[in-house]
Amino acid sequence: MEAPARNHRTRFGAFEVDLRSGELRKHGIRLKLQDQPFQVLALLLEHPGNVVTREELRQKLWPADTFVDFDSGLNSAVKKLRDTLGDSAEQPHYIARTGRGPRKSRATSPLGGNTEALE
């Protein structure tokens, strides 16, 4: 199956994402989602059911010459995305963290492959 992100609209669960317009909808109602959490979602949708590393997320969110508190910024973006999706870190439905400990072993696992490309 072609990666959903190649299409500009993708559906998972009750949600529909339009990657061109940057819109997230639930049951047709537009939800507010800031740019960085939306970029996290877009990257996860490019790799449904696969692990996306923190380094891949860092590269997507911040240019190489940007100096930020990466861990805090990424944790905040993922928390905002989880809040918007009604997801939980303790009992994840859409975004699950794999591994703990050293930064190199941390990763985020998206959506379990349950996505549907639209158009």
pLDDT tens figures, 16-73: 999 999 999 999 999 999 999 999 999 888 888 778 888 888 888 877 777 777 788 8
DSSP label of 1? -
Domain count along the chain? 1
For residue 70, the enclosing domain spans 4-118
Q: Residue 32 in 3-state DSSP?
A: coil
How far is Cα 85 from Cα 37, in angstroms, rounded to an integer? 11
How far is Cα 115 from Cα 119, in angstroms, rounded to an integer? 13
* pTM (predicted TM-score): 0.78
Phi, psi of 18 (to 5 degrees): -110, 105
**CATH label of the domain that carries residue 12:** 1.10.10.10
Tell me, rounded to whole angstroms, the distance of Cα 115 from its chain centroid: 13
